[in-house]
Amino acid sequence: MASNPTLFERAVSRLKLRQLRLIVAAGQHQNILYAAQSLNISQPAATKLIKDLEADFDVRLFDRTNRGVIPTAHGAALIRHAQLIFAQLGTAAQEMEDLTEGAIGRVTIGTLVAGAAHLVPAAIGRVLETRPNVAFKVVEGTNEVLMPMVRTGELDMVVGRLPTHRHRRDLHQVPLVEENISLIVGRTHPLAGSKTLQFDDLRPFGWILPPAETTLRRQIDEVFMDADQYHPPLVVESVNYLTNRALLGQGKLIGVVPKQVAVADIASDLLVELDYQLPFSFGPVGVTHRGDAQLSPAAALFLGALKETAADGAAAEISRSTPSTAPGNS
């Protein structure tokens, strides 16, 4: 006697992309009518598609309320995986288009401030030296924006400060380098060139700070609280380094950045690092992705280039910090 089909077998044989599009839209709008309109189908047709899907899987996908619909736990799970399916289909279509145009793969990278300065551009350059036809797409943002894009497959990986608590579920983290924090100002800032600064010296000035939802901002806010609940006279929230550099050039603000982000501008005297050390480090900078098995060959190649770039930087740092011994003086 034939056994009943498993849930997977039912999904393979009965599930339609149209149904998946509909439940994703219903989850976004929390309203069947609006979801139907977004897909150019009638509300009765949309309701029937969802009911058929619920019957096929013998689960309830949405709770009906006076205001619309709310995904159940089963519905939320199916919506999440449907989003991943569509992201992967989009990636597959883009990769086929790249192949048609002569590229041999595509890597989509999310970057935080710490990753954008050196690691990502250096690793891209390393890949392009041997694989010039690999296509790259780089998206800048915060963990709050980028990590969900990794989960849904819109990004292959995120390079930057590794989250310590949030955003770690179902994701792989690879530490690459340890990073320190610098306070920087423009050349004409009153504190530029001052030695052995104290926190009281910083109080009169405005600050450029990362957004409130970031770990770095929470660490800075704790420093401010410990300094007699200090409130800066002016705060500009920004993670865009080009904007921040221009603001610092006006000579009135203090910026907070991972040291590697500003190292070139400090070396060229465009910006000045203040002689003040915050009581915390930036922490590990690395790459977050969905797992090695989920990486395309091009993405795996880029991940290897990131590791090599980080290793080269660590070796150079050790070389700089180790005093040389002249022959005959040992």
Residue-by-residue DSSP string for 71-116: E-HHHHHHHHHHHHHHHHHHHHHHHHHHHHTT---EEEEEE-HHHH
> CA dist 295 to 70, 80, 139, 241, Å?
33, 19, 18, 29
Domains 7-81 and 103-178+284-319 share a fold: no
> Structural domain boundaries of the chain?
7-81, 103-178+284-319, 181-280
Fold of 7-81: Arc Repressor Mutant, subunit A (1.10.10)
- Going by their DSSP bridges, the two strands 157-161 and 181-186 should be labelled as unpaired
Query: Domain 103-178+284-319: what homologous superfamily?
Result: Periplasmic binding protein-like II (3.40.190.10)
Q: Say what the pLDDT of residue 160 is.
A: 87
Specify the CATH number for 181-280; select among 3.40.630.30, 3.40.50.300, 3.40.190.10, 1.10.730.10: 3.40.190.10
Q: What is the DSSP letter of 294?
A: G
Per-residue model confidence as pLDDT tens digits over 149-188: 898 888 999 998 887 666 566 789 999 988 788 999 999 9
The Cα 64–Cα 76 span in angstroms is 14
Q: Say what the pLDDT of residue 314 is.
A: 58
The token pair that represents 237 in the structure block: 């929230």
Q: What is the DSSP letter of 164?
A: S
Q: What pTM was computed for the model?
A: 0.60
Spacing of C-alpha 22 from chain mean position: 28
Q: Say what the pLDDT of residue 53 is.
A: 86
> CA dist 314 to 122, 264, 307, 321, Å?
14, 17, 11, 11
Q: What is the mean pLDDT of each run of 10 residues along the chain (330 residues)?
A: 60 76 90 90 90 86 88 89 81 70 78 78 93 90 87 90 70 87 94 93 95 86 93 92 92 90 89 91 85 88 93 61 48
